[in-house]
Amino acid sequence: MEAAGTTRSAFDRHFTDLEDCFTAYTSETLELFLVAVGAALQQVSGWREQIRATAYAIVRFFQEDERRTQMTLIEILSAGPRAQLVRDGGIDMMVTLIDQGRAEMADPDLLSRATAEAIAGAVFSRMRLIFEQGETALSHEHVPELMYTVVLPYVGAEAALEELEIPPPGEG
């Protein structure tokens, strides 16, 4: 309680238990995250541009607050089921955005939503690994690599390779 700057009685007035606290924190973080991503999406059109804008918004979101990044990428893995359900809701929104890539394909039925789920899981795992390893933290430098991963199954190798060459906004 000391590290959080509160007393046990104050904690008990607001939360039923630690999981309730973590769930509230995760919900508030998800709301902030969705505002950041929503603002980025309003500025672009086209699936690849939306994915790229989202990726940069995610990087900025995590760069703003290292503790939030720690909680969102690392600590959430040991949270209770309610907090993980909130997190999963946020991931599901990202899966839905990624899955829109099927509309870019000549035959959208060649892939299923499971492809988007696997990609979202891979991206989340990669971001977590970057943060855990302290690799200059999550930065704009990582976006082209993540974009390559997302774009490849939907629009092919040529478009995925193009993503590796697209500079961050404001640098090109």
Tell me the DSSP string of 4-35.
TT--HHHHHHH-SSHHHHHHHHHHHHHHHHHH
Residue 11 neighbours by CB distance under 10 Å: 15
Question: In angstroms, rounded to a whole number, what is the distance separating the alpha carbons of residues 38 and 142?
Answer: 21
Look at the block and give the residue holding tokens 């309003």.
Answer: 42
Report whether pLDDT(52) > 90.
Answer: yes
d(CA 29, CA 4): 17
Query: Are 164 and 130 spatial neighbours (Cβ–Cβ below 8 Å)?
Result: no
Q: What value does the mean pLDDT of the chain take?
A: 88
Q: What is the pTM of this model?
A: 0.84
Q: For the segment 99-138, what is each residue's pLDDT rounded down to a tens digit?
A: 999 999 999 999 999 999 999 999 989 888 888 887 557 7
pLDDT band with cut points at 50, 70 and 90 for residue 78: confident
CA angle 48–35–112, rounded 5-degree value? 40
Measured distance CA(73)–CA(138) in Å, rounded: 11
Domains (range + CATH), the chain = 8-163 (1.10.357.10)
